[in-house]
Structure 1
Amino acid sequence: MERLTRIVCLLSLLGLAASSNEGALSLILQRMDRSADPCEDFQKFSSGKFLEVHEGENVYSLQNVAVQKYNEQLQELFDDLKDTNFIDESSVEEKVWQLYNTCSTAPKKTHSWKHYLQLVSPNLDLPWPQFTPRGGEWPQERFQWLVTLARLRRFGFKNFLIPMDLTTKSNDSSQLLISLGSHPIKTIPEVSDTEELLISLKVSREKAALLASNITDLESDLQKLAEEDNSLVQYMTTEEFEERTSISIGHYLEIVLGSSIDSGFELEVLQITYLEGLKNVIEKYDSEVVATHLVVGFIRYLKSMDGSESNGDPAMCAAAVGVLMQPASEFLYKNLHFGEEELQRNVEEVQRIFKIISNTFMARLADNRLNLTSAEVQHLQEKLSAMTVRVGNLPNVEDQRSFVTNFYSDLNLNTNLDYAEAQLKVLEHLNRKILEQLDRPIPRGKEFYLFHSQLNAATEGTFYETNNMIILPYLILQEPYFSPEMHDVFKLSYLGYLIAGEILIYYDPYYLSFDSLGNNSTLLGNFEEHQGYIDGISCLNRTETRAISYRVIDVLALELVYDSYFGKDSTLSKDQPCFFKVPLEQLFLLNFSQLLIGNYYGLGDPNDVSLHASVSNLKAFGETFSCPANATLNPPIRCTIW
């Protein structure tokens, strides 16, 4: 009888929808560890068998699974290019194929880090210290750390000495400028790791140990200098910067940009006190130590990219090309993987979910629980009303092929089977394109956001305050995690949560004063002094966190998306599909938790901490899982801000 009921139930739905729902539900049920108490350890309960289910797949998170599947799809697309006769050798398909083929077939020696360093020297006619002939002496008097830094920055290397980014002007978001500052080293690499890297470059073990120790000391000094700097953002010309820091930043920028600049070139400076002390720190160390620090940093930069050390493996080469030629890969994936109708359905569903979430948040802003002024509430609502979401990073133009073709028109990949040479050409081309944006305003409505070279496939949305826009990567739009035909309980708890998190970024105190066009205003500049905000932060800080701003988003995003589905004003169907053995409320939370599997974390808390902070501040969680009053994840007091 139960089997008959199940068949009737499935027949009541479209076959495709049933398949999508069952696929998502099946994975959730397989990953659960029912021996765990959801009220004490929800991560273990919801996904404790994740590694067991995915044994042998070399994945540790849902995001990892999505990236792996996306890269497999890219590999299929790239392999299909092999048998294609390109009439136009300058086509984007031809250039993608050239890089993929070079990666897959070039001799392994061209993948070696030593070979990369041979192609990128610290200065003209100056080798790296590691390549000094035995018995010879490295001409350290010819080493200029700032010149070397600039030469490496042309390939997108974000170093620890003078990190450089593109940003928008605070009073005109259509204009870009260069931002300089410091990025404190969150975790200084172990001395042994640096030592082993140097040994792999054929540095003697004794010399490697000494250099690694000195490099670690240098990195510690840089970190200390950055952490002691509490200066505010400042705007100054290159001439003013040089007067304050004694660093010839104009010469540095001319090398990076490949063009001359005048002394009035405007800069955004994030930590001027750090930069004022930087030269003295560097000059404490031997030139060979500083040069080797840059060697190690550059190799780590290359190693951090998807598909690094592929050594010809086609799957890793597909991952590498997907990142190195992101605009081209996105164009091919969009047009070859999705049919036109399927793509349209996906995009429309993304827009619908975004509208549901933004409407819920709009109602919260109108409730004004923080007792803001009417002008402040209007400011916040206007930001939200103007916010948009887009799938993919390519600009919203009718002829995207022409855009991508023009983007790569000056990238010349020869037929030499030398992977390091090809990768460096692509990186240099990409970063030249990024910096060329300085010369023109960002076009409204047809934006192409490319502020830095991408190291890894994006697994979640990116918010650009420049034009008040969320950009979602195509890879999150794949089954079994998302399809337009799925039940809303899956779509809201997965994609809805990701979108809610991106919306809330623009409601962090730092961004509150920015208006709907990304320009700074005079409103809400003192929001952090508001008693309601202080109380909310104090409440959220009751459990330890690495970054309170991330904690706020973790908690509020779940609260917002749960309310969007189950709230009193929701018009979404709450009918329980008869083949869902799990109640919708539980299913929603179980599916959401898949985004926070394992202990991986970025700048925020480990995933288990983020997950437990989120569910413990959701009143419905304790009710849904019948948690006792003294359960760890069912506290008597719950925190919120908006």
Structure 2
Amino acid sequence: MKWIICLLIAPIVAASPILNAAFNNSNTRLLNNILGNVNEDASACGNYFGYACGNYVGHNINDYFSNINQKLSYMMYYDLIQQMDELHQISQIPGFNESSVDAKALRYYLNCLDAPPETRTAEHYLRLATPGKGLTWPHLTPSGFEWPRDKFKWMNTLANLHRYGLTNVIVNVEITRNSMLKLSMPNFKVNLHDWLKLKDFGITLYDMGVPYNRQNSFWHEVTSLEWFLEELTNRNEDDEEMHFMSVQDIEWTTELKWQRFIEAIVGHRISSRLRVYIQNLNYFTALRRMDFIHAELLANYIMTRFVLHIRKNANDGGDPIKCIRNLRSSMSLASSLLYKERFQDPTTLEDNIQEVEQIFDQLRRQLIHQVNINRLGLTSKQKRMVIEKVQAIVLNIGNIPKGLDHRSFVSRYYKDLEISTGNLDYAREHLKMLEFRMRKHMAQFQQPFPSSEEYFHMPDTITDFQSPSSPYYLVDKNIIVMPYPLLQEPFFVSDSHDVFKYSLMGFTLAHEMMHAIGTRGILVDSHGNDQDVGQKILSLPQFQPCLNTEHHEERLADIEGLKLAFAAYSSRSKQSRNDEKFTSVNLEKIFFLNVAQLFCTDNYPRNFLHHDDHPLRLQQIVNGFEPFERAFECPRNSLQCDKCEFSANVRPDVEAIAAAALSGMEMGSGPGSEGYEDADDEKSKAMENASQRLAVHRMTPTLEKSHLGGSTSSRIHNPGI
């Protein structure tokens, strides 16, 4: 279906910025890398992916990385492994500070790497994390003793395991953006049948210590209980009303003891008059039926779900790459500090940050300018809301609070984290880490929300972490987080020509900026509070075609991000015009070729989340864009301004985006992100050879680093922007 939409961004007059030839070293490296991926036999106009990335595999034949995102991530991993090796040597010297954040990170890493296999079994975890005080799990009851089923209370067990991050089992618990507690029924997006096939379940039960002759009946019992719970949620899926009730009223309505449950979760006493949010109230009323289910079955079900939760976060050990990734996701603030202090020269880092912030400010000014043009005729109130939201976006480079001494802040943060100095025990330290993280998360309960300058992002669970080289936008916080690894070649070189900086870094930041005014972003103000102006914008009829198409959020963020980045670059180039060129290649052509590096990838199949595949994405980004057609001398696309077919040639304007033509995700992950299913698993397979080049324990990774440094390839599997 074709539909009419006017472009907010006016046609941009081509500009050819020319900078001093003194920058030729970095410019030449970056340009040669880009041109090495080009396949001149393909048509840039009809198959831009084939043209810009057609020689990618051959050009990067000796690389172990499938895309630029993986390359940047693993450059950081190798650096951190090197630092762990250095710290391990230093730790042998008398006087080493065992209470420092460096020492804690080292001990956690060594536990992951070297702890004995018997400390990693599910049975060992279950002996450490019991269903309650004085209780064991049913199948671990000592021979000759009967399991004390009368002492088992399913709510107590859920609260006890919640400290390790277990939620979405029978009851889902959240801290809302206004620091209140919310109870809701669980979702079953992935149930036990989907998660584990029968043969896999047998392996899991064996690891849990369930006797072989009990495994078949065990499997049928726990899956039957899950079917019952799933059916219970299905019956109440229309009951979405949110109630704000006192704990005593919830207890009276449901006939269940929620005060004790909440006290165990938040870690302190509460008043029965405390009010919390509760959704799906009918479901919670139906939970009284749980008291009639056999206690052993309930315990086994909760135990199984807990083991699956642990397995998502656990590590087999022995592999430095996997363990450094585990350290990075478990102690992100610490690993970021260590990486910054050891591998980021302070002067260079300051220059890089200033340059990136300048690009960000240029993008913001350009976006506000386009909104002010107001070609869509938004009301003054609507336009003001959009502009205020854009003006309030905060760029957080490195995911740290601004204005604080980084080391002092991180040291205080991990002060109460205890990593044992004695024998190695992976499960023990892993559980302590999960408990530490959940304690930090629950500390937000009833606390004032930090300002955007004080804020840093800490995902609810370890598995929620983005790739270390993936920027992302936090809808409820109006913050774009940009990790340090993006400040590396070939992604960013501060003294390179603007055409390189605005095409990669600029496009990445512009894409994330678009999420701020997407269909979810437009519904909240810069503090995450709901406001109705955005809903009124969403209801405008001209935006409905944008909202009913698969992947429309990322697709339109791609398109409008490119337009915004190019507009900012063109504006910048006019301000810094010079008479010398560093290359004879058309600069606009370089701009679009460099954007394509984010989408170049090997031929390894992947299942993308929220996105089209790369060839389609890249073609949609450039289709009908007049500066692109001019640069590559393409025939003019008649659908570019007035009409567009959404499947291929959509060219919505920035204000259509502002009017929420984007679908807001909790976190809009950026051009360098890994937004595909099982990203880490597939990445691990793709990186297996690279990992094997490291010693099983602590081979100095300097050789690997020099290999990386010797190649300027841009392996981009970039599943998400």
Q: Determine if the TM-score, normalized by the shorter chain, exceeds 0.5.
A: yes
1:6: which partner in 2? none
* Alpha-carbon distance between aligned partners in 2 of 1:15 and 1:636, rounded to the nearest angstrom: 37
Pick from 371, 378, 381: which aligns with 1:365?
371
2:518: which partner in 1? 508
Q: Which runs of 5+ in 2 are unaligned?
A: 1-17, 640-644, 658-721
Moved more, 438-447 or 130-139: 130-139
Q: CA RMSD in A?
A: 4.0
Partner of 1:65, secondary structure, is: helix
The one-character-per-residue Cα deviations of 1:495-538 (angstroms, maximum 9, x if unpaired) are 22332232222212333243334333443333321112214335
Whether contact under 8 Å (2:119, 2:427) holds in the other structure is yes
The one-character-per-residue Cα deviations of 1:133-179 (angstroms, maximum 9, x if unpaired) are 6898755554433222222221223434333333322xxxxxx2233
Pick from 426, 433, 438: which aligns with 2:433?
426
* Alpha-carbon distance between aligned partners in 2 of 1:315 and 1:196, rounded to the nearest angstrom: 25
1:435: which partner in 2? 442
Change (3 A) 1:570 1:118: farther
The one-character-per-residue Cα deviations of 1:90-125 (angstroms, maximum 9, x if unpaired) are 221121222222223322222333322221112223
| Aligned residue runs from structure 1 range 98-109, under 5 A | 98-109=107-118
**Aligned partner letter, 1:108:** P
1:393: which partner in 2? 399
Pick from 261, 265, 269: which aligns with 2:274?
265
Pick from 443, 446, 458: which aligns with 2:454?
446
Change (3 A) 1:95 1:108: same
**Aligned partner letter, 1:432:** R
Partner of 2:522, secondary structure, is: coil
* Alpha-carbon distance between aligned partners in 2 of 1:281 and 1:34, rounded to the nearest angstrom: 68
1:117: which partner in 2? 126
**Aligned partner letter, 2:583:** C
**Aligned partner letter, 1:424:** L
1:347: which partner in 2? 353
Moved more, 465-474 or 323-332: 465-474
Pick from 495, 508, 515: which aligns with 1:498?
508
* Alpha-carbon distance between aligned partners in 2 of 1:500 and 1:274, rounded to the nearest angstrom: 44
Change (3 A) 1:43 1:212: farther
Partner of 1:512, secondary structure, is: helix
Pick from 309, 327, 333: which aligns with 2:339?
333
Pairwise CA distance, 1:391: 0.7
| Aligned residue runs from structure 1 range 523-538, under 5 A | 523-538=533-548
* Alpha-carbon distance between aligned partners in 1 of 2:184 and 2:602, rounded to the nearest angstrom: 32
* Alpha-carbon distance between aligned partners in 2 of 1:463 and 1:402, rounded to the nearest angstrom: 26
**Aligned partner letter, 2:103:** E
Whether contact under 8 Å (1:150, 1:255) holds in the other structure is yes
Pairwise CA distance, 1:29: 5.1
**Aligned partner letter, 1:446:** E
**Aligned partner letter, 2:409:** F
* Alpha-carbon distance between aligned partners in 2 of 1:301 and 1:54, rounded to the nearest angstrom: 38
Partner of 2:525, secondary structure, is: coil
* Alpha-carbon distance between aligned partners in 2 of 1:478 and 1:10, rounded to the nearest angstrom: 21
**Aligned partner letter, 1:501:** H
1:557 pairs with 2:561? yes
1:356: which partner in 2? 362
Pairwise CA distance, 1:344: 0.3
* Alpha-carbon distance between aligned partners in 2 of 1:50 and 1:163, rounded to the nearest angstrom: 45
Moved more, 30-39 or 140-149: 30-39
* Alpha-carbon distance between aligned partners in 1 of 2:186 and 2:52, rounded to the nearest angstrom: 36
Partner of 1:452, secondary structure, is: coil
The one-character-per-residue Cα deviations of 1:535-566 (angstroms, maximum 9, x if unpaired) are 4335xx2xxx2x54444434433343344335
1:237: which partner in 2? 246
Whether contact under 8 Å (2:20, 2:582) holds in the other structure is no
1:4: which partner in 2? none
2:678: which partner in 1? none
* Alpha-carbon distance between aligned partners in 2 of 1:204 and 1:32, rounded to the nearest angstrom: 59
**Aligned partner letter, 2:135:** L
Partner of 2:533, secondary structure, is: coil
Partner of 1:437, secondary structure, is: coil
Pairwise CA distance, 1:610: 4.7
* Alpha-carbon distance between aligned partners in 2 of 1:183 and 1:55, rounded to the nearest angstrom: 46
Partner of 2:597, secondary structure, is: helix
Change (3 A) 1:130 1:394: farther
**Aligned partner letter, 2:436:** H
Moved more, 127-136 or 252-261: 127-136
Change (3 A) 1:453 1:570: farther
2:260: which partner in 1? 251
Change (3 A) 1:142 1:454: same
* Alpha-carbon distance between aligned partners in 1 of 2:222 and 2:56, rounded to the nearest angstrom: 39
Whether contact under 8 Å (1:460, 1:498) holds in the other structure is no
Change (3 A) 1:289 1:191: farther
Q: Which runs of 5+ in 1 are unaligned?
A: 1-8, 170-175
1:5: which partner in 2? none
Whether contact under 8 Å (2:256, 2:288) holds in the other structure is no
1:161: which partner in 2? 170
Pairwise CA distance, 1:56: 8.8
Partner of 1:524, secondary structure, is: helix
* Alpha-carbon distance between aligned partners in 1 of 2:623 and 2:134, rounded to the nearest angstrom: 61
1:301: which partner in 2? 309
1:3: which partner in 2? none
* Alpha-carbon distance between aligned partners in 2 of 1:189 and 1:241, rounded to the nearest angstrom: 33
1:578: which partner in 2? 583
1:181 pairs with 2:184? yes
Which structure exhibits the higher relative contact order, with contacts defined as CA atoms closer than 8 Å and separated by 6 or more residues?
2
Change (3 A) 1:528 1:452: same
**Aligned partner letter, 1:490:** F
Partner of 2:195, secondary structure, is: coil
* Alpha-carbon distance between aligned partners in 2 of 1:419 and 1:288, rounded to the nearest angstrom: 28
Change (3 A) 1:68 1:250: farther
Q: Percent identity?
A: 24
Whether contact under 8 Å (2:400, 2:456) holds in the other structure is yes
**Aligned partner letter, 1:560:** L
* Alpha-carbon distance between aligned partners in 2 of 1:315 and 1:406, rounded to the nearest angstrom: 27
Pairwise CA distance, 1:14: 3.1
Change (3 A) 1:15 1:586: closer
* Alpha-carbon distance between aligned partners in 1 of 2:248 and 2:442, rounded to the nearest angstrom: 20
The one-character-per-residue Cα deviations of 1:276-334 (angstroms, maximum 9, x if unpaired) are 377278679765554444444334433434xx424232332222112211111112222
Change (3 A) 1:243 1:107: same
**Aligned partner letter, 1:235:** F
**Aligned partner letter, 1:504:** M
**Aligned partner letter, 2:164:** F
Pairwise CA distance, 1:377: 0.6
Whether contact under 8 Å (1:616, 1:634) holds in the other structure is no
1:384 pairs with 2:400? no
1:413 pairs with 2:419? yes
Whether contact under 8 Å (1:462, 1:472) holds in the other structure is yes
Change (3 A) 1:439 1:585: closer
* Alpha-carbon distance between aligned partners in 1 of 2:56 and 2:283, rounded to the nearest angstrom: 45
**Aligned partner letter, 2:401:** P
* Alpha-carbon distance between aligned partners in 1 of 2:136 and 2:205, rounded to the nearest angstrom: 16
1:228 pairs with 2:237? yes
Pick from 144, 150, 155: which aligns with 1:146?
155
Pairwise CA distance, 1:587: 0.8
* Alpha-carbon distance between aligned partners in 1 of 2:370 and 2:327, rounded to the nearest angstrom: 43
1:92: which partner in 2? 101
* Alpha-carbon distance between aligned partners in 2 of 1:369 and 1:183, rounded to the nearest angstrom: 45
The one-character-per-residue Cα deviations of 1:237-276 (angstroms, maximum 9, x if unpaired) are 333444455554332222222211222333344x425743
Change (3 A) 1:231 1:32: farther
Pairwise CA distance, 1:576: 7.0
Partner of 1:309, secondary structure, is: coil
Pairwise CA distance, 1:613: 4.6
Partner of 2:462, secondary structure, is: coil
